[in-house]
Amino acid sequence: MKVLVINCGSSSLKFQLIDSQSEKCLAKGLCERIGIDGSMITYAPEGGDKEKTLTPMSDHTEAIRLVLEALTNPATGVVKNLDEIGAVGHRVVHGGEKFAESVIIDEEVLAAIRECSDLAPLHNPANLIGIDACRKLMPSTPMAAVFDTAFHQTMPEEAYMYGLPYEYYQKYKIRRYGFHGTSHSYVSKRAAEVLGKSYEDLKIIVCHLGNGASVSAVKNGRCVDTSMGLTPLEGLIMGTRSGDIDPAIIEFLAHKEGKDIDQIMNVLNKKSGVLGLSDNLSSDFRDLEDGYHAGNVHAVRTLKTFCYRVAKYVGAYTAAMNGVDVICFTAGVGENAGIVRTFVCEYLGYLGVELDQEANGRRGEDIVISTPDSRTTVMVIPTNEELAIARETVRLL
Ligand code: AMP
């Protein structure tokens, strides 16, 4: 079956068409600046050239219509007609406590996703618009919702509760949820598969280090902790997000800088992280790595602080699971920045970690990067959230 995977943001939409049998991506692309001047669709059939077309897109329905047109285009399309698309899998950011698994979308599910919008006001409404637009254009095609939070719903209470008045949990469901669940699930399962070991017998720590970054602890096939919280702001230092800070800093800054809550949240989400810490050198680790080698003090400080925080979470999750068998690195930074893996692993001598520097220099494959003598196995597993969403969609059907 061919599955269309849709990841819808407020003004953008990423898509992939995946053949579920071969698990190959047949075509992929991106619509940008939806509803804004200068909208553009990028479309790339597998093995073909990438095309970028500037074209007006007043809303998400129009964007999806253009995506379907590109996929069925007689010259560069990859399907003859829409009947060839057997299902659509939608990434949905927040499933609250309602969804511990992916589901087939119906009216009840849509209402529940809408209810979770309070918890993810920037993301869930955009996801709903994408679902709505697809349902308008493909009314008889089954659709699934795959939640970023679902994999983490197995966390025990002591991992997901904050030290806040309990009434806020009862009234507003304020608790830790975690995100990137599709990636943490895919990577931890894949690690077990590559090692030829049973998923249910392993203690795995996944470091998903991308522009957004999170760590998870997966014990015997179930997530027991993860570093993001009620929102994706908690945990690691990220591209532009601060991660963990003393909450009193918010009040302190409000007074000193004369900023209101919205302005401070904008600083914490958009101007902090490695971008802010590097004194605006860059949020991109390629620039930080170059800066580090050139001896730039901002790059040195930022890389060291970022890696120290990752290593602290690895330590915490080793404690949470009473040990660790496998540590996996994934996502843009985790898969590509060997220097980050090296710096993190330098803290892990107590776990008997020894890196194989030749393997650590390779890219683009599922690979063990620790030596055969290393007491803990360290791996790089390229994440593939789209494939995981396609698999979930087919499983549900
Ligand atoms: P993601 O959010 O997973 O797409 O990751 C995006 C981030 O990965 C970028 O912002 C970069 O910081 C980082 N990245 C991508 N390619 C490389 C590379 N070759 N070396 C180091 N970092 C990279």
What is the per-residue pLDDT across 48-86, written as a single tens digit (0 to 9) for each?
Answer: 999 999 999 999 999 999 999 999 999 999 999 999 999
Eight-class DSSP state of 152: G
Residue 30 or residue 9, greater confidence: 30
Confidence of residue 283 (pLDDT cuts 50, 70, 90): very high
CB contact burial 2-14 (16+ within 10 A = b; e otherwise): bbbbbbbbebbbb
Pocket test for ligand 1, best of 7, 208, 211 (most atoms within 8 A of CB): 211
* Ligand 1 atom nearest to 274, measured from its CA: 12
- % residues pLDDT > 90 (the chain): 97
Tell me the Cα Rg of the chain: 21
What is the C-alpha to C-alpha distance for residues 207 and 217, in angstroms, rounded to an integer?
9
Which residues have CB under 8 Å from 305's CB, separation 6+? 237, 277
What is the helix (H) or strand (E) element at residue 360, kind and residue range? helix 357-360
> What average pLDDT does this structure show over 37-43?
95
158 CA → ligand 1 middle, Å = 33
Residue 9's pLDDT is what? 85
Q: Is 130 in the pocket of ligand 1 (CB under 6 A)?
A: no
> What average pLDDT does this structure show over 117-133?
90
Nearest-CA residue for ligand 1 atom 23 is 333
Say which amino acid occupies 87: A
Its sign, for the CA torsion 14, 387, 47, 332, is: positive
- 120, exposed or middle or buried, with CB in 10 Å at 0-12, 13-18, 19+? buried
Residue 386 has pLDDT above 90, yes or no: yes
Eight-class DSSP state of 355: B
Residue 328 has pLDDT above 90, yes or no: yes
Q: Is 238 in the pocket of ligand 1 (CB under 6 A)?
A: no
Residue 173 has pLDDT above 90, yes or no: yes
Residue 279's pLDDT is what? 98
What is the C-alpha to C-alpha distance for residues 237 and 245, in angstroms, rounded to an integer?
10
Q: Is 7 in the pocket of ligand 1 (CB under 6 A)?
A: no
What is the C-alpha to C-alpha distance for residues 380 and 187, in angstroms, rounded to an integer?
9
Nearest-CA residue for ligand 1 atom 9 is 284
Say which amino acid occupies 166: Y
Which residues have CB under 8 Å from 329's CB, separation 6+? 207, 209, 335, 340, 341, 344, 369, 378, 379, 380, 381
Q: What is the pLDDT of residues 188-241, one digit of tens each?
A: 999 999 999 999 999 999 999 999 999 999 999 999 999 999 999 999 999 999
238 CA → ligand 1 middle, Å = 11
Joined tokens for residue 343: 């710096």
- The SS3 call for residue 137 is helix
Residue 299's pLDDT is what? 98
Q: 94 near 147, Cβ under 8 Å?
A: yes
> What average pLDDT does this structure show over 270-293?
97
What is the C-alpha to C-alpha distance for residues 240 and 75, in angstroms, rounded to an integer?
41
> What average pLDDT does this structure show over 114-122?
89
What is the C-alpha to C-alpha distance for residues 168 and 316, in angstroms, rounded to an integer?
26
Residue 10 has pLDDT above 90, yes or no: no
Residue 28 has pLDDT above 90, yes or no: yes
Joined tokens for residue 122: 């920037």
Residue 162's pLDDT is what? 98
184 CA → ligand 1 middle, Å = 17
Q: Clarify whether 279 is annotated catalytic.
A: no
Residue 121's pLDDT is what? 86
Joined tokens for residue 336: 């590509």
83 CA → ligand 1 middle, Å = 36
Q: Is 210 in the pocket of ligand 1 (CB under 6 A)?
A: yes
Q: Which of 19, 118, 148, 262 is catalytic?
A: 148
Residue 98 has pLDDT above 90, yes or no: yes
Residue 312's pLDDT is what? 98
What is the C-alpha to C-alpha distance for residues 360 and 206, in angstroms, rounded to an integer?
16
Residue 109's pLDDT is what? 96
* Ligand 1 atom nearest to 286, measured from its CA: 21
Query: Mean of the per-residue pLDDT values for the chain?
Result: 96
Confidence of residue 308 (pLDDT cuts 50, 70, 90): very high
